[in-house]
Amino acid sequence: MASGYLTVLTSTPNVAYNGGGNPLTIAVGPLASVKSFSLQSFIVAAAWRSNLQLSLVGYRGSAITYNLTMALNATSKILLPLHWDNMHRMTFATSGGTIAGYANNGTQIGIDNVCLLTSST
């Protein structure tokens, strides 16, 4: 089935996605040996919509340290070089967009080639 999942697919056979269009969170737990992480880059595309809004927020503790909102399409992928360092949590949230003519119409995104570094200090 044609979709942005095929558009974003760079390293076969899988892509990550936000199930049901719900917010997606990457986080370190309080008992984990990993104390923080850095998100260097990833490839992303909307799964079904045009001009889907993707909001990324990075946190250190409860403080917002990074914030970015951008528009995505299902017909083109974006390599996003963030270099967001020393985070405890990061959220991906989607909203809006317009119907792009695919079989589905949700606010899901596809993500591939995530470059994430962890730190134990």
DSSP string over 30-89: TT-S--EEEEEEEEEEESSEESEEEEEEEEETTEEEEEEEEEE-SS--EEEEEEEEEESE
pTM for the whole thing?
A: 0.92
Number of domains in the chain: 1
Nearest-5° angle of CA 13, CA 15, CA 19?
135
Q: Which residues pair with 49 in a beta bridge?
A: 99
| CATH number of the domain where residue 24 is located | 2.60.120.1350
Residue closest to 19 by CA, chosen among 89, 112, 110, 108: 108
Q: What is the pLDDT of residue 1?
A: 56
For the cut 90, the answer to whether the pLDDT of residue 75 exceeds it is: yes
- Dist CA 89 CA 78 (whole Å): 22
Please, which pLDDT band fits residue 120 given cuts at 50, 70 and 90?
A: confident
Query: The domain containing residue 46 runs over which residues?
Result: 4-119
